[in-house]
Amino acid sequence: MSDFLSDADFELYRKLIYDESGITFSATNRSILESRLKERLREKKLESLREYYALITRDREEMKTLLDSVTTNLTRFFRNQAHFDAMEKAVVPELLKLRQAERKIRVWSAGCSTGEEPYTIAMLLQEIMPAGWSFEVVASDISLKCLMVGKEGFYADSRIQGIPESYLTKYFDKKPGGHQVKDAVKKNVRFDYHNLKNDSGQRGLDVVFCRNVLIYFDEAAQKATIERFWEAMAPKSFLFIGHSESLFGMNTRFEFVKTDWATFYRKNS
Ligand SMILES: C[S@@+](CC[C@H](N)C(=O)[O-])C[C@H]1O[C@@H](n2cnc3c(N)ncnc32)[C@H](O)[C@@H]1O
């Protein structure tokens, strides 16, 4: 046991973070929470975890900073290519039939981290949507630091692996040390702060991507999040979760769909 984070304090913070965000800490990742708390105390020049607890329970901004600091933001462009193949070859062709009246597709990248996922979706849609159709990608996260990177749309050379050469020349401007997403792509992506613990208020979405986010939640928080997605989605719409995640055993109303490219979920009614 550590001198800094007692079992009682671990319990206190573990519960608070879970109640605020659904993010679950256990014995295995306790040390991550401990190091983040140490950083926050140092930053705020506080002596004890109880003082810091009193601060975050009255200061929403500091609470947001703590939540931001405990997130894992690993991502990359075209992460799990099979999902984008399924999007191109199965989901979008079906939506083009289903949404003839609206001629618009609305996608949500929930837990978008630094923007690689929503920009990948936007570039793909820009490539494949027929003339006369439009689309919108809403990108949300609980990490304000990540959202700032996403809004900026500048990616260092080390972070652009996985982007096909043709996309790189078409959708990015080369800048010293990296690549800048062009305005023509950015205009279709809207970044927004949103905590998946709450209802986003969105309705009628055609596709939701929530990949590699649910793994940080326990089963109850996963189920509640999936239920909120159901409410936010249009009848006959699609949900992608991470390839190591599953709704198996969760008793949801989503139908499991297996295609040649990837598996995903469908809201039928
Ligand atoms: C590992 S990243 C995944 C990024 C991207 N979806 C991908 O698959 O590459 C997980 C993201 O989920 C976000 N996240 C975790 N809990 C959240 C919550 N309660 N509400 C919104 N976003 C959350 C984190 O801030 C982080 O950026």
Nearest CA to ligand 1 atom 17: 142
**Strand bridging mode 154-156 / 178-181:** antiparallel
CA atoms of 234 and 217, how far apart (whole Å)? 25
Distance 6 CA to ligand 1 centre (A): 28
- Residues linked to residue 23 through DSSP beta bridges, in sequence order: 217
CB 22 within 8 A of CB 225: yes
Probe residue for ligand 1, chosen from 213, 223, 225, 226 as the CB with the greatest number of ligand atoms within 8 Å: 213
> How does 111-126 read in b/e, with b if 16+ C-beta sit within 10 Å?
bbbbbbbbbbbbbbbb
Alpha-carbon span 14 to 5, nearest angstrom: 11
| pTM, rounded to two decimals | 0.97
Give the distance from CA 173 to its chain's centroid. Answer: 25
The residue type found at 115 is: G
78 half-sphere exposure, CB direction, 13 A CA radius: 15
Phi, psi of 209 (to 5 degrees): -105, 120
Strand pairing category for 205-210 and 104-110: parallel
At residue 269, the pLDDT reads 86
Name the amino acid, one letter, at 84: F
User: Is residue 243 packed enough to be buried (19+ CB in 10 Å), middle (13-18) or exposed (0-12)?
Assistant: middle
pLDDT of residue 1: 57
Mutate to test the pocket of ligand 1, among 76, 138, 141, 202 (most ligand atoms within 8 A of CB): 141
Chain segment 37-81, per-residue pLDDT in tens: 999 999 999 999 999 999 999 999 999 999 999 999 999 999 999
What are the pLDDT digits (tens) for 128-160? 999 999 999 999 999 999 999 999 999 999 999
Give the pLDDT score at 257.
97
Q: What is the pLDDT of residue 158?
A: 94
**Which residues' Cβ are closer than 6 Å to ligand 1?**
21-23, 71-75, 79, 111-113, 117, 141-143, 146, 195-197, 211-213, 216
What integer pLDDT is reported at residue 3 of this predicted model?
A: 82
Query: Considering only CA atoms, which residue is closest to atom 3 of ligand 1?
Result: 212
Residue 237: what residue type? S
Identify the DSSP state of 23.
B
Shortest-distance atom of ligand 1 to CA 194: 21
Query: Which parts of the chain sit beneath pLDDT 50?
Result: none
